[in-house]
């Protein structure tokens, strides 16, 4: 926490009608900041009398409220000590930090969350931009009818659980008193089965129906479990009616959960739904680069591009590729070549029969096909023959290398993105030319 928070709080206290001018000028304005960090602010009073005044319940609460207002309602512990009492300062700081860590540990146990998944470390790309923006919105105003439930669906390893947990962590950060529970559908099912055995329904229902936010992962596992479906439906209804937020992830859209109770699938579609797509090249590269920079790995641009071009299935596979390379970097004392990486990742990449492609390889293949020199495709020449070949090359870069229009334009002589878009559309709209583009692509993969 910035120590200037106290200076700003003083300006609020100066005009508080409950604080007389003598108290403000002789006591409050003379107080200084002894320590400040993310969780606490220690204020030092100049004498014992001043300390006893600010520690009084009414004035102490007023000071805390002013600091809370300046700090944007973020949780903050305010302590008062005598100026120059270093022993009290040290014990106060250590005690508050210890208490905070213990409470944080209790929160993790009771919520099922930890601080690992946040919006700050979620990499945003075109594949997840809208889902991310809506998730942030839900975390800021949980329980709003138009975003309740918040339903994320897509294949495994695309970041659905990360977004879900980021919502929970953000809500707890801004509202520590909120009751948030993260659980998997499997854990929910097991808990209900145990409840049936013990015949203790009250405890189970109190746990899941008294929350402010319920985060439930992999709801597709409710399929085939009719008793659990009924219990979840009743829990769902109770929370929605109370204005509590529900966040759900699934591997399918609600409309495709045909084996699930119709009452549930219709409720899932009553809020907001997002299909989280596989990460595009730019997103994969941003994710991979963040890992490389965090670990300070000496990887060349050539290696980084190779990994991000070829490991395309999901983020978990990309993480696996990074962990594998990271281990080999240690063994090889940081001296890895592209050939080394291609061999290392063979088990990951070969099953999909992927091949490392670059724009230069595309330009070369297209030039050979149309019997042109590569430099003509990147030149300003506009003859019909060259324009067609250039459009095909740009089309392959867009559809198979997943490059953005701006990037393609840079590669082909600094052309505008609208020019690239038009050229690609020409290939798309001409079946014969498109067939030629596909044939060229197949010849190099």
Task: Please give the Cα distance from 369 to 436 (Å, whole number).
Answer: 9
User: What pLDDT is attached to residue 71?
Assistant: 72
Is residue 106 scored above 50 in pLDDT? no
User: What pLDDT is attached to residue 352?
Assistant: 47
| pLDDT above 70 coverage of the chain, percent | 93
Give the least confident one: 47-51, 213-217, 293-297, 385-389: 293-297
| pLDDT above 90 coverage of the chain, percent | 15
Q: Are 198 and 181 in contact (CB under 8 A)?
A: no
pLDDT 10s digits, 173-187: 888 888 898 988 888
Instruction: Find the mean pLDDT for residues 364-381.
Output: 90
Q: Determine how many CB atoms are found less than 10 A away from the CB of residue 183.
A: 18
CA distances from 8 to 4, 74, 413 (A): 6, 15, 55
Task: Please give the Cα distance from 101 to 57 (Å, whole number).
Answer: 26
Q: Are 365 and 317 in contact (CB under 8 A)?
A: no
pLDDT 10s digits, 21-67: 888 888 998 989 888 887 788 889 988 888 888 888 788 888 888 88
CB-neighbour burial class of residue 6 (10 A; exposed 0-12, middle 13-18, buried 19+): buried
pLDDT band at 167 (very low <50, low <70, confident <90, very high): very high
User: What pLDDT is attached to residue 356?
Assistant: 60
pTM exceeds 0.75: no
Is residue 109 scored above 50 in pLDDT? no
Is residue 389 scored above 90 in pLDDT? yes
User: What pLDDT is attached to residue 108?
Assistant: 41
Instruction: Find the mean pLDDT for residues 88-103.
Output: 74
pLDDT 10s digits, 391-441: 999 999 888 887 888 889 988 988 998 899 999 999 988 999 999 999 998
Is residue 107 scored above 60 in pLDDT? no
Is residue 75 scored above 80 in pLDDT? no
Averaged pLDDT score across all residues of the chain = 84
pLDDT band at 269 (very low <50, low <70, confident <90, very high): confident
Q: Determine how many CB atoms are found less than 10 A away from the CB of residue 218.
A: 18
């Amino acid at each position: 926490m910035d120590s200037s928070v106290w200076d700003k709080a003083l300006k609020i206290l100066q005009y508080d009608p409950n604080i007389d001018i003598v108290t403000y000028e002789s006591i409050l304005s003379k107080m200084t900041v002894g320590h400040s960090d993310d969780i606490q602010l220690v204020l030092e009073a100049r004498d014992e009398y001043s300390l006893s005044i600010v520690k009084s319940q009414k004035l102490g609460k007023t000071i805390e409220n002013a600091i809370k207002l300046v700090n944007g309602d973020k949780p903050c512990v305010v302590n008062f000590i005598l100026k120059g009492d270093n022993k009290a300062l040290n014990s106060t700081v250590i005690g508050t930090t210890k208490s905070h860590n213990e409470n944080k540990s209790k929160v993790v146990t009771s919520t099922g969350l930890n601080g690992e998944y946040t919006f700050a470390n979620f990499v945003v790309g075109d594949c997840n931009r809208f889902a991310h923006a809506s998730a942030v919105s839900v975390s800021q105003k949980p329980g709003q009818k138009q975003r309740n439930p918040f339903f994320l669906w897509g294949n495994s390893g695309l970041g659905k659980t990360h977004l879900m947990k980021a919502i929970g962590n953000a809500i707890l950060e801004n509202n520590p008193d909120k009751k948030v529970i993260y659980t998997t559908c499997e854990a929910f099912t097991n808990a209900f089965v145990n409840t049936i055995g013990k015949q203790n329904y009250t405890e189970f229902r109190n746990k899941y129906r008294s929350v402010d936010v319920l985060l439930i992962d992999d709801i597709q596992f409710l399929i085939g479990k009719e008793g659990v479906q009924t219990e979840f439906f009743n829990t769902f209804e109770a929370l929605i009616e109370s204005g509590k937020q529900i966040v759900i992830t699934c591997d399918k859209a609600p409309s495709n959960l045909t084996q699930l109770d119709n009452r549930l699938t219709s409720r899932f579609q009553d809020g907001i739904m997002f299909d989280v797509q596989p990460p595009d090249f730019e997103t994969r590269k941003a994710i991979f680069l963040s890992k490389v920079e965090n670990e300070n790995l000496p990887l060349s641009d050539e290696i980084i591009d190779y990994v991000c071009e070829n490991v395309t299935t999901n983020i978990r596979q990309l993480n696996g590729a990074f962990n594998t390379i990271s281990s080999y970097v240690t063994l090889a004392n940081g001296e890895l070549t592209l050939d080394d990486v291609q061999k290392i990742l063979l088990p990951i990449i070969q099953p999909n029969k992927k091949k490392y492609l670059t724009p230069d390889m595309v330009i070369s293949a297209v030039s050979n096909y149309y019997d042109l020199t590569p430099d003509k495709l990147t030149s300003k020449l506009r003859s019909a023959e060259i324009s067609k070949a250039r459009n095909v090359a740009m089309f392959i870069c867009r559809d198979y290398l997943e490059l953005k229009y701006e990037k393609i334009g840079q590669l082909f002589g600094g052309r505008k993105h609208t020019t690239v878009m038009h050229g690609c559309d020409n290939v798309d709209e001409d079946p014969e030319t498109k067939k030629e583009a596909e044939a060229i692509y197949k010849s190099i993969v």
